[in-house]
Chain A
Amino acid sequence: MDIHPILAALKKHKSAALLIVLQIALTLAIVANAFFIIGHSIGRMSRPTGLEEDGLIRVVQQWPATPGMDDAAAIEKFDAMQRADLETLRSLPDVEDAAASTSNPILSGYEAGDISLDSGRKGKFVRAAYYYGDERMRPVFGLHLIAGRDFYASEIRHGHGLPGSPVVIVSKPVADRLFPDGHALGQTVYQDGKPARIVGIVERLQTPKRADSDWAFNSVLEPLRVDDAWAGYVVRARPGRTAEAMREIHDALFALNPMRLMPEPYAGIHSFTEIRASGYFPDRGMALLMGAICIILLGVTAAGIVGLTSFWVLQRYRQIGVRRALGARKVDILRYFQIENFLIVAGGVIVGTALALGLNAWLMAQYEMTPLPVIYVASGALALLVLGQAAALVPALRASRVPPVVATRST
């Protein structure tokens, strides 16, 4: 079909056509960026942490401040209290096992440093988060050990501010980046300049850091029970008994020693499901908000197309009748309106692509945002083209049903 008559007709409705082009363009600019934000949030939320999350409980607590917390006697006192807590936790009926552990994925509080091949950090090095804990931490987390062994109980040090463990378990990305040939196990690396031997490798362990980073899975397990005012434990509940285990943990710990603090929301007794939900709440919220706005936006735009196309059909009622009388088939009329709609929406999509990229540039300056991948613009454009065709269909069908006889009437 020749598009010349369509363009000629559109010239008569310049302002209305331009309005739809503008509306489509703005819609695409917003929808493409909103889709991107949604995709980014969902991508972050759906990353597996490497933990066996179901049945995992985290306890974070603080001992009330006592003066002189850094001397040797205080450290031994903190350690004794921590060991007593762990023993109590392990004895609970709905608890399978418990371990000392300072942090876990998505919790946000963490320590990090550089792991390098030489003590001076001159050569290759990678950034990694440190998980301090005892020999049960790896199994309680449910991490998949792909090479080497767990820490021996005898390797666990205790104390406060003791950087540089002699032995470490690293996550696979750390091993792969330092030793691309795959011989990381047994090698000595330098942790902020101090030597450490890799005794084990776990397949995957996300860092506690919530913000995006290029080292999100670079983690190191350190055999150290940290003794300071904060104490953290991970607990593995018996299958299906998480809620019961959480109640037991609370009651047992406060019965053992009521002098402890659990300032929410960071501290307290939380299942990993809760930690995940609260840690990713802003991502989920942003995705929901953008989703709701996209639905309204696409609905309004579709309705607008229906409205204007109906108006055009009504206006050209007589001309359609004339065309039908001169031999045009129903399908020709239908196709006419569909092609007209395609041309308008395509115009909007072209302008909209430029607007979408402009908006993305602004968002990158304002907000943690990366360049908009083409796929989001393309899928937004496709969605609008399909939406446009669908919206134009009802009025176009009505146009195709205009009987040829109206040509003979005067309106």
Chain B
Amino acid sequence: MGIEQGASKRMFGYYLELAMRSMKRSPGLTALMILAIGFGVAASMTMYSVFRGLSADPIPWKSSRLFVPQIDIWGPGFREPGGEPQSGLDYIDAMALMRRHRAIRQSAIYSLSSSTMPDRATGSASPIPVRGYAVYSGFFPMLDVPFRYGGSWSEEEDARRAPVAVISDHLNRQVFGGGDNVGKTIEVGGRAYRIAGILAYWNPQPDFFADLQYRVDAPDVFLPFQYVVETRAIGNAGANCKRDADDPGTDFEALLHSDCTWISFMVELDDAAAARAYREYLDAYAVEQQKVGRFNWAPNNRLRDVPALLDHEHVIPGTARVSLLVAQGLLLVCLVNTVGLLLAKFLRRSGEIAVRRALGASRAAVCAQCLIEAGLIGLGGGILGLLLTIAGVHAVGLVMPAQLAALAGIDPGLLSSALLLAMVATLLAGAYPAHRASRVPPALKLKGQ
């Protein structure tokens, strides 16, 4: 056993030496193959890095327990393609779902944009724009939102319409210069809110609980839904209204009474039974609305968990998919190219192989030697590909919008898969040429010499 191992190690060393010698004999061809593999691997790994960033689960430990209910509020004739109901809810139905409280945790959500005044010490007299969401207190534990100081406001504060706020640490630094400012007052849109909590950095991509957008900047502020809506503190900018219906535009009062959809809704359901029960509840709700004459059609509801929702809504931009596919196509062409060139390279040495075969080298030995040569080229291509992938990921911002480019990241996993991809792909590309080389008959070639 020991001797055999030693022998095979020696053979490996010998093959390696043969491979190096062969590569040196045709440096142009070798360089060409390394370049092709390097470029092909780098292009596909760079695009994969973007795609991986965009398709990553924004809340992997919990996404299958978070659901978005959809109710067919508008009915036939106004449905999305495939008979799908609207993705958002109107105020009336969102409030009905909140009131009945059928999930462990739930929150109606809508996007806010407003402004606040900076720290007096900065000397600026101009307001700062802030962006955020109106939510219920259940939102924070439901989405495991991380707090730096303080915490969520309470359900009781929701119910009593208390003016409280949760802000980002970024806004905390802008307005107060940082530190634990829980209990202090912050003015948003001309109204004062008591700070209940300050978040650690939290910017899931996309914002799966609301608009399904990729955003560079994290949200600044979270305010109580009921307070904001019922005191008409901050309106909503973008509602979806039925075709031909009057769009309330900036008239918040009219929006609240309309069937325009503008509210996102999320519920936490901890097992399949709970999800089934909630689905039944949604249907029962629709039937009830049918009875009172609001809906004139059979229930057509949906309850998707976060991964299913992101998939259904096609959040990953088409450009990212197309770029990935085209880059993979490039890699495929590079591999086909490598198969051809390796074939040429190995068969060019038919004479030498025939001599080695005649002197007793087995087919397996010839095959192994060829594969080692392919592996070395793969290694070279892999190292080049790895370096080019690093450069590529840094350069993604030149060709893709910042909010998408920001999600492309380099990590050891990506780099080792670039190397592995190059090695495996080149070995696969080398398999057929190596097989062909091992078929070179010894006797015939000796005759020719």
Contact = CB atoms under 8 A, between A and B. Distances in A.
Contacts of A19: 336, 339-340, 343
- Give the one of A27, A29, A65, A69 with max B CB within 10 A: A65
A354 interface: no
Interface in B257-302: none
Given A15-B436, A289-B323, A311-B347, A282 B401 contact: yes
Interface stretch (B54-62, B69-77, B123-131, B151-159): B123-131
Contacts of A288: 398-399
Nearest to B112: A65
Interface stretch (A92-100, A295-303, A330-338, A372-380): A295-303
Interface string A155-171: 00000110000000000
B39 A15 contact: no
Contacts of A228: 250
Interface string A65-86: 1110110000000000000000
A23 B336 contact: yes
B250 A258 contact: no
A261 interface: yes
A296 B400 contact: no
A383 interface: no
Q: Is the interface of A mostly helix, strand, loop or mixed?
A: helix
Given A15-B436, A65-B189, A366-B322, A286 B399 contact: yes
Contacts of A296: 39-40, 43, 330
A289 B330 CA distance: 12
A253 to B, nearest CB: 10
A308 interface: yes
A270 to B, nearest CB: 16
A260 B126 contact: yes
B340 A20 contact: yes
A285 B340 contact: no
Contacts of B330: 30, 293, 296-297, 300
Nearest to A18: B340
B234 interface: yes
A246 B401 CA distance: 25
B337 A304 contact: yes
Contact of B115 (A64, A254, A285): A64
B36 interface: yes
B50 to A, nearest CB: 10
A284 B397 CA distance: 12
Contacts of A129: none
In this complex, the interface size class of chain B, counting residues with CB under 8 Å from chain A, is 35 or more
Interface in B156-206: 189-190
A286 B125 contact: no
Nearest to A281: B401
B189 A22 contact: no
B59 to A, nearest CB: 26
B234 A65 contact: yes
B24 interface: no
- Give the one of A20, A64, A67, A263 with max B CB within 10 A: A64
Given A26-B333, A293-B326, A261 B127 contact: yes
A367 interface: yes
- Give the one of A20, A290, A367 with max B CB within 10 A: A367
A16 interface: yes
B333 A161 contact: no
A263 B29 CA distance: 55
A9 interface: no
Contacts of B432: 15
A10 to B, nearest CB: 14
Given A23-B333, A259-B127, A261-B115, A16 B326 contact: no
Contact of B337 (A30, A37, A263, A303): A303
Interface in A4-30: 15-16, 19-20, 22-23, 26-27, 29-30
A18 to B, nearest CB: 9
Contact of B126 (A160, A229, A258): A258
Contacts of A307: 29, 32, 340-341, 344
Contacts of A70: 250-251
Interface string A350-382: 000000000000110011100000000000000
A261 B127 CA distance: 6
B344 to A, nearest CB: 3
Contacts of A26: 329, 332-333, 336
A161 B127 CA distance: 26
A311 B321 contact: no
B32 A303 contact: yes
A304 B251 contact: no
A67 B232 contact: yes
B336 to A, nearest CB: 5
A301 B399 contact: no
- Give the one of A307, A311, A363 with max B CB within 10 A: A307
Interface string A273-290: 000000001101110111
B431 interface: no
A23 B43 contact: no
Interface in A244-258: 254, 258
Nearest to B345: A311
A23 B124 CA distance: 62
B322 A367 contact: yes
B126 A259 contact: yes
A34 B319 CA distance: 12
A219 B352 CA distance: 75
Contacts of B129: 62, 261-263
Interface of A: 15-16, 19-20, 22-23, 26-27, 29-30, 33-34, 37, 62, 64-67, 69-70, 160-161, 228-229, 254, 258-263, 281-282, 284-286, 288-290, 293, 296-297, 300-301, 303-304, 307-308, 310-311, 314-315, 362-363, 366-368, 411
5 contacts: A62-B129, A64-B189, A64-B190, A161-B250, A289-B323
Given A19-B343, A62-B115, A161-B251, 9 more contacts: A16-B344, A65-B190, A70-B251, A261-B128, A281-B401, A288-B399, A289-B323, A363-B322, A411-B448
The 8 closest A-B pairs by CB, nearest first: A311-B344, A367-B318, A285-B399, A263-B129, A258-B125, A19-B340, A304-B337, A65-B189
